[in-house]
Amino acid sequence: MKKVLVVDDEPAIVTLLEYNLKQANFEVESATNGVDALSMAENGMFDIVLLDLMLPEMSGEQVLKQLRMDRNDTPVILLTAKDTEFDKVFGLEMGADDYIPKPI
């Protein structure tokens, strides 16, 4: 079973993603802030990370940057309300593998 880490500070988004991913037979864990997300990503074996950019304590950008500095090559898909072309390119240049605008 594939394992997904969902990182978002909006409970409704986390609930929606968890429900849909579990229905599709994924194992799902979630974090609501960047610090917890980074700890979980470093200590767990995830097949993919769905990462919001705007998080409390540590931004999604900082989480992604640290993951890549630690040579963690787990695919990361950014989830964010920022939907400009600049934001998409910026996220991909930071090391994200793809970008999904909110709302999902």
Mean per-residue pLDDT over the chain, rounded = 91
Greater confidence (1 vs 87) lies with 1
Band (82; pLDDT cuts 50, 70, 90): confident
Location of structure tokens 């200590």: 43
Q: How many CB atoms lie within 10 A of CB 94?
A: 16
Given a contact cutoff of 8 angstroms between Cβ atoms, the answer to whether 17 and 50 are in contact is: yes
Please give the domain boundaries of the chain with CATH numbers for all domains. 3-101 (3.40.50.2300)
Nearest C-alpha neighbor of 63 from the set 19, 18, 101, 46: 46
Residue 89 CB contacts under 8 Å (≥ 6 apart), including other chains? none
Whether omega before 103 lies within 30 degrees of 0, making that bond cis, reads yes
Model confidence at 104: pLDDT above 70: no
pLDDT at 91: 79
Please say whether the beta carbons of 59 and 34 come within 8 A.
yes
Q: pTM of the predicted model, to two decimals? A: 0.91
